[in-house]
Structure formats: structure tokens, C-alpha cells
Homo-oligomer: A and B are copies of this chain.
């Protein structure tokens, strides 16, 4: 399958370019902005946007600017890796939140990045940069380490080969460090990141598995780094993650390290 040399030819690619033009920081765009961002001629943009509009994938606000439509949100909500996972996980996230009263997050891997599916936060919780629907690189977050540690070999090598963006002086900076961290995560069944994105916050993450025992998501708690005791958080995070895994039909319990068995009961199943 040889690589095409032409810039953008198919209608499908053009339509997708238009949809991709919307971002978190610019959710409202005029026609000419869309035309500029996509590089498509104004007339073409006009016609394509018109089609998306009649389908409800885009909407216009009262000033005539375009925005992502509710229909888009609805269809997106059918993504099995989105709301499906979320629905199974939500009760356990709630339990974990009640137990910790700090940010509780659910995330999946997409390429070499983390995508956040859900977060529950207290009003006074420590600041976090990520957002539901937002992305962060895999190497800088606890959920990212968990997801990368259990990703296919090829993905792992790809992430290790890429330059590792440093957010703080505590962000993992070299491939060797990252490789060791991943080995630790696989051995221990959890990941801890202390100040890797922002110095003020520390997070603890554990893997969520599906029927085939694949790691499909990761769960984390984010607490203020100052005075935090990660060792106390590890059991509850792992228990919640295992609860979700069980709800997804994972072959639970059996593959627990012996020393961790008793943790199963830390978080009551029903109460």
C-alpha cells in the first residue's frame, strides 16, 4: 500500500479535517477560520460544512459560528471504549472517591497518549491539568505508565523511541528510566507518579482488564504531593480497579500476587 503524494483528496478526509479543526481551546469557529485551519478552499469548506450541518454533526450558534453538534456527542457516546467502559466503572469510581475524597480518574490509551474518560473531583481538590476528553503523553502520568506497561511490544518501543517531554524535573526523562519504571509497574501491578506533571500532585494508578485479560483502561487517584502517603492508597486503587475488571468479566482474583490477596476485601462489594 504505497503512500499517496497528494495532499488531501477524498471527501472523507476533508470532512474529517473539518471535524478535527475543533479543539478544546477553540470550540467555536467561523467558516473562514475553518477554511484556514483545514487548508481547504473557502467554497469547498462551505459546502462540506453545510452537509455536516444538515446531519447535525455540526451546529451554528446565534452568531453564525460553527460548533460540534450534539449529534456528534451522541454518536461518540456509543463508542464502546468511551461510555461503555465509563458506565461499568462509575460505581467503583464513586466508591473510590468516597474513600479518598480526591480526584479519581479513568483513562484509556490511544496511540502513545492517555485519553481521560472520566473524573470525579472534590471542589477543593488539588489542581490537575487534564480534562475529560483531553490527552496527555503516556510517560508522564501514572495511568500512562500502567497503560504503556501492558501495551503491545510495538507500541512500547514506539513510545520509548520518541523524545520524552519533561513537564517538571521529576518527569521521567530518558528511555532507560522509563523502561525500568514499566518493568516495575508490570511486577507490582500499580504505578506511582510523584510530581511528574505538576510538582504539587501525586498519583497512583492500577490496570483495568477485560474478559480476555487485556489491560483496557487504567484508574488513578490524584492527591496533593505534600504529605501524601502513596502506600496507603495502593490497596484501595487496586481494589477498585479489580472491581471494574470483574464487572467487565475479567478472570478476576486468580492472578493476584499472593501477598495482595487480602486486599480484595478492603472495598466492600455492595455497601
User: Which A residues are closer than 8 A to B by beta carbons?
Assistant: 10-13, 15-16, 19-20, 22-24, 27-28, 48, 51-52, 55-57, 59, 61, 67-84, 87, 91, 108, 110, 115, 123, 132-133, 135, 270
Q: Report whether A72 and B76 are in contact in the complex, using a CB–CB cutoff of 8 Å.
A: yes
Q: Report whether B70 and A79 are in contact in the complex, using a CB–CB cutoff of 8 Å.
A: yes
Q: Report whether B133 and A77 are in contact in the complex, using a CB–CB cutoff of 8 Å.
A: yes
Q: Report whether A27 and B84 are in contact in the complex, using a CB–CB cutoff of 8 Å.
A: yes
From B19, B28, B57, B132, contact of A77 by CB (8 A):
B132
Q: Report whether A70 and B75 are in contact in the complex, using a CB–CB cutoff of 8 Å.
A: no
Contacts of A15 in B (CB 8 A): 11-12, 15
How many whole Å from A235's CB to the nearest CB in chain B? Answer: 22
From B22, B69, B81, B123, contact of A70 by CB (8 A):
B81
From B70, B78, B87, B115, contact of A82 by CB (8 A):
B70
Q: Report whether B87 and A79 are in contact in the complex, using a CB–CB cutoff of 8 Å.
A: no
Q: Report whether A70 and B110 are in contact in the complex, using a CB–CB cutoff of 8 Å.
A: yes
From B11, B56, B61, B87, contact of A132 by CB (8 A):
B87
From B68, B74, B123, contact of A115 by CB (8 A):
B74
How many whole Å from A270's CB to the nearest CB in chain B? Answer: 7
Interchain CA distance A80-B56 in the complex, whole Å: 14
Chain B residue nearest to A72 (CB atoms) is: B76
Interchain CA distance A74-B68 in the complex, whole Å: 11
Taking A12-B11, A12-B48 as contacts, is the C-beta distance between A76 and B80 under 8 angstroms? no
Chain B residue nearest to A94 (CB atoms) is: B120
Contacts of A76 in B (CB 8 A): 68, 72-77
Contacts of A19 in B (CB 8 A): 57, 75
Q: Report whether B84 and A77 are in contact in the complex, using a CB–CB cutoff of 8 Å.
A: no
From B24, B56, B61, B87, contact of A78 by CB (8 A):
B24
